[in-house]
Amino acid sequence: MKKVGLPDQLIHQTSNSQVLWLFLAPLAVATLHSLVASKIVSQLLGLFAVNSYMEYAQMLFAVIGIFFIVYFVIFRLTSRAYYRIVH
């Protein structure tokens, strides 16, 4: 992209947006899947005498939050590597 004459800021924005789409779609699907499956998992836990839905919901959102953080770190590393390649 540098050879074409694009400024560094535009190269950085373009590479970030391209990599973001690669990371955002699976993250959204995984989150949606977890939220939909949470009702079924909660019912299964009820069979094992785990009836505290609030505790389960807290753990679910904690895991989703950790997943987001790890995914964000990997996104930043990948975005930086991609920027170096196309720069």
Average pLDDT for runs of 10 along the chain of length 87: 75 86 91 90 82 83 93 92 84
The DSSP 8-state label assigned to residue 54 in this structure reads: H
pLDDT attached to residue 77: 94
For residue 65 the two structure tokens come to: 């939050």
- Non-local (6+) Cβ contacts of 12 within 8 A are 83
pLDDT attached to residue 11: 81
pLDDT attached to residue 2: 65
pLDDT attached to residue 8: 80
Integer Cα distance of 31 and 24 in angstroms: 11
